[in-house]
Every structure is written in structure tokens, then in C-alpha cells.
Amino acid sequence: MSNMGARVARLVRNFNLENRVHRELSRQKPSAAPRHTAPGLTAPAAEPELSATENMMGSIHNKNDPLLKLLESVYVESKDPEAPKKTAVGKAAERRPLKFTLPSDPYGLLDLDDVPKGKLTIAEALKALSSHQQQPHTWTAETVAQEYELSEKDTRALLEFFMPFQVEIIPPKKEKAKQIEES
């Protein structure tokens, strides 16, 4: 049904279309409004509009001597700001030598000579944790922090919450434990 309505609407819309187009094209179009003239200037009487655009294009391509002299007097000099250079002394101050390495070095740390301050290698972390666990009175958080140049806050948190060698043995189940009976 909707297809039928579309056909009827198309017939009404296209009815006598060609005659309506010819009638619209034959009508006289309104002329453009005259241009406003500035006070004190006389309107060009017989000059066509093309001459105004030609004058404008000519003034664009012509040299303007006063502007060229002003442009020649301008001199711009720019320099990039110099970045602060890092010295070898500053680099050595930011890093510390390794305290401990594993003999077989299974973690691929053979090429390390030093680490940044405030950081640990895996081997150093394991050594510090095992030392603290074996001798907690001599290896306190403060001594570990001084030895490896760490912050005391981070060292306390590391020793308190990270325990890699703590083993908990779960007792075996009792044989006489209560069982749920199947019915």
C-alpha cells in the first residue's frame, strides 16, 4: 500500500514539471543593488566591475617601497636554550656499586656494575631479606636502608610485608573428621 502512495505522490510532484521549469527560467531576475560609495569619493560612472578587481590585483603585485624599507630594518635572531649537561660526577652520585650478586647469576645480571640509588637488584633484595630474617636484631630496617641506600619507609614496608622464605606447614587432616552422610 505504501508503495502505491509513493507512486501517486511522485506523479503529482512531477506533473507538468517541464513547463514549470521553462516558466521559471523565462522570468526576469532582479538586478543587484548598487554599491555604496564612501563620503567624499565619486562613484565611477562608466568603469566596469572588472577594472576594480584588476586595480586590486595590480596593487597586490606591485612593490610598496615604504613597506619594503620597514621590512629591511627588522632583524630577528633566535637561539635555542641550552640544555643542562650531565657531568660524570652527577651520574656517579646518582648510582651506587652492587653489594651482592649471585655466583651463577641465573637472572642475567652479569653486565650490571651499579644500580640507581633507592633501587635493588633481585639478588640484593633476596640477600637483604634473608639477612633480616636470620638476624633481625642486627639487620634492622635502618641498617638495611643505610647499607643499600634506600628510604627507611620503603625498607620497613619491604621487610614487613614481603616474606619470600616463610614456609607454612599445614597439618594433615584428621581421620575422624566429621563427614556428611549420603542418604
Q: Which of 19-23, 111-115, 141-145, 173-177 has the highest mean pLDDT?
A: 141-145
Share of the chain above pLDDT 70, in %: 74
Check: CB of residue 96 under 8 Å from CB of residue 114: yes
How many residues appear in the chain?
A: 183
- Measured CA to CA in angstroms, residue 8 lies from 2, 19, 20, 22, 146 at distances of 10, 20, 19, 24, 94
Residue type, 55: N
Pure H helices in the chain: 2-14, 17-26, 49-61, 65-72, 88-94, 122-134, 141-148, 152-161
pLDDT in tens, 80-120: 888 776 655 555 558 777 766 656 555 555 566 778 888 88
Torsion of CA 111, 113, 117, 122, to 10 degrees: 50
Structure confidence at residue 177 (pLDDT): 63
